[in-house]
Amino acid sequence: MNVLMITESYFGNTRRAAEAIRVGLQSRDATVTIGDAATGPALTGVDLLILGAPTHNMGLPKPASRRQAHEKGGQASTTGVAELLEALPGDLVCRVAVFDTVTGTGFFAGSAAKAIEKRLRRRSVTVIARTSFLVTSTQGPLADGEVDRAEQWGASLA
Ligand SMILES: Cc1cc2nc3c(=O)[nH]c(=O)nc-3n(C[C@H](O)[C@H](O)[C@H](O)COP(=O)(O)O)c2cc1C
């Protein structure tokens, strides 16, 4: 199975989760590439697309929240998963799974993954799995046990 994982990450936590998901997928013999949402990797030959983003202001990062992340010491970026979703081909045929990172749980923490799923649903794309990984603060790191859970989630997708 050919898997493309596309992530957006300011402090490295979403990317860290993606790397753990890759370990899980590889343990089931999947071939996995991780790309950056800002560079818009090609979708040719992909069986499973996994999109991952940090939750900003209860949803997907936007230009203003990206600037805030940069001001807090995160990587600078002007584009990401939200823009990538706009540019996805209308005839997307591969399966899609989504994840995010969050500092809180429950309704008021929001979820970038839910926002991705909502946008995909509008385009009639079904998401086969969705999860959130907890970080201990805005800058991280991932909470205890989350790297293991990400590996298990990856294995379950394969
Ligand atoms: C501008 C901004 C807004 C945020 N808003 C939320 C939020 O609404 N809910 C939440 O759980 N975490 C929020 N966070 C924390 C991020 O989820 C956290 O920084 C992110 O998961 C870290 O992932 P990264 O290292 O991949 O960027 C926010 C962070 C920033 C910088």
141 CA from centroid of ligand 1 (Å):
12
Quick one: how far is CA 80 from the chain centroid?
10
Strands 2-7 and 95-102: unpaired
Mean pLDDT of the 129-149 span: 98
* pLDDT recorded at residue 107: 80
Residue nearest to atom 27 of ligand 1 (CA): 10
Which residues, in sequence order, are CB contacts of 148 under 8 Å at separation 6+? 20
Supply the range of the domain harboring residue 88.
2-157
Token couple for 157 = 């997708």
* pLDDT recorded at residue 86: 92
pLDDT digits 0-9 by tens, 8-25: 999 999 999 999 999 999
Token couple for 113 = 């993954």
> What is the band of 108 on the pLDDT scale with cuts at 50, 70, 90?
confident
Q: What is the CATH number of the domain that holds 88?
A: 3.40.50.360
* pLDDT recorded at residue 6: 97
65 CA from centroid of ligand 1 (Å):
9
- 132 contacts 150 by C-beta, under 8 angstroms: no
Domain total in the chain: 1
Segment among 75-84, 102-111, 139-148 with least mean pLDDT? 102-111
Atom of ligand 1 nearest to the CA of 139: 19
Alpha helices (H) along the chain: 13-26, 63-71, 81-87, 112-122, 146-157
Given a cut of 90, is residue 41 above it in pLDDT?
no
1 CA from centroid of ligand 1 (Å):
31
131 CA from centroid of ligand 1 (Å):
15
Distance CA 42, CA 129 (A): 22
Distance CA 23, CA 46 (A): 18
Distance CA 16, CA 129 (A): 19
Which residues, in sequence order, are CB contacts of 32 under 8 Å at separation 6+? 3, 4, 5, 22, 25, 26
CA distances (Å), 59 to each of 91, 109, 147, in order? 25, 9, 22
Quick one: what percent of the chain has pLDDT higher than 90? 87
Pocket of ligand 1 (CB under 6 A): 9-14, 54-58, 65, 68-69, 72, 74, 101-104, 109-110, 135, 138, 140
Counting runs of H as helices and runs of E as strands, what totals does the chain give?
5, 5
